[in-house]
């Protein structure tokens, strides 16, 4: 059995960037979530997310198709259960999800490793959101407001990693994953 690795942290902190680098080091399977939000420029169906309607999302909930799900930023996000269960037989699986979903996962998989990525400071987080340039000012404000909520849950995570220098954060996370004993 592989390990279930959950990576969370405020929007714009660099989770997606870190996960891409982790995948390049090999050996990990990435869970692709379902969401009802619209694709951003460059995002691909089935790679970034499965972009689905609220109706389909509700059907998946009813059919027990999600390992966890959550509604935030006015949209729904969920982890399809079947992919994760299949991949875990042979791989360490990474979920890149927010805190409410992460804590649901910890309930059903207590052995899951929860890692929270935090910014060096709030100003830098806002700068990264602006740099990404994929959201309007209102959406950026909503995402900044949620930061405090996300950070308030860090005590329930197994590890906290500061994403200051990207390579250092990636190395630290890789080290954490390798050092956790398989249970
Ligand atoms: P998230 O997935 O957490 O929402 P992203 O991975 O999209 O965040 O990163 C947000 C922006 O911050 C991107 O433009 C990314 O290139 C940049 N970024 C990520 N990590 C760092 C870092 N350590 N230092 C500076 N910029 C970073
Ligand atoms: P974004 O819209 O920036 O892609 O993602 C917004 C937030 O949703 C991020 O914190 C991201 O980690 C989280 N997220 C993405 N997929 C899932 C999922 O399947 N479940 C949950 N609970 N959160 C998710």
- From ligand 1's centre to the CA of 165, what distance in Å? 11
For residue 165, give its domain range.
4-181
Please work out whether the CB of residue 98 comes within 6 Å of at least one atom of ligand 2: yes
Tokens linked to 87: 């991949």
pLDDT tens column, 60-86:
999 999 999 999 888 999 999 999 999
Quick one: average pLDDT of 10-35?
93
Chain position carrying tokens 């250092």: 168
In this model, does residue 183 exceed pLDDT 50? no
Q: Please say whether the beta carbons of 108 and 67 come within 8 A.
A: yes
The CATH number assigned to the domain holding 110 equals 3.40.50.300
pLDDT at 26: 76
pLDDT tens column, 29-41:
999 999 999 998 8
pLDDT tens column, 123-168:
999 899 888 877 788 888 888 888 889 999 999 999 999 999 999 9
Please work out whether the CB of residue 119 comes within 6 Å of at least one atom of ligand 1: no
Give CA–CA dist 153/15, Å, rounded: 17
Q: State the ligand closest to the CA atom of 118.
A: 1
Q: State the ligand closest to the CA atom of 153.
A: 2
Tokens linked to 144: 């900044």
Torsion angle of the four alpha carbons 79, 80, 86, 89, in this order, in degrees rounded to the nearest 10: 10
Give CA–CA dist 152/12, Å, rounded: 17
């Amino acid at each position: 059995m592989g390990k279930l690795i959950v990576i969370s942290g405020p929007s714009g902190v660099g989770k997606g960037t870190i996960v891409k680098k982790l995948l390049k080091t090999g050996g990990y399977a990435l869970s692709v979530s379902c969401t009802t939000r619209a694709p951003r420029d460059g995002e691909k169906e089935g790679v970034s997310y499965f972009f689905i309607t609220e109706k389909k999302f509700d059907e998946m909930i009813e059919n027990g198709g999600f390992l966890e799900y959550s509604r935030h930023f006015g949209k729904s996000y969920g982890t399809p259960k079947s992919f994760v269960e299949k991949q875990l037989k042979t791989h360490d699986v990474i979920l890149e999800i927010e805190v409410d979903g992460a804590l649901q996962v910890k309930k059903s998989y207590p052995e899951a490793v929860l890692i929270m990525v935090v910014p060096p400071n709030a100003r830098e987080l806002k700068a990264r959101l602006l740099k990404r340039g994929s959201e309007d000012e209102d959406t950026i404000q909503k995402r900044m407001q949620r930061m405090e909520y996300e950070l308030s849950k860090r005590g329930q995570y197994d590890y906290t990693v500061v994403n200051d220098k990207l390579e250092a954060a990636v190395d630290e996370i890789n080290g954490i994953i390798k050092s956790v004993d398989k249970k």
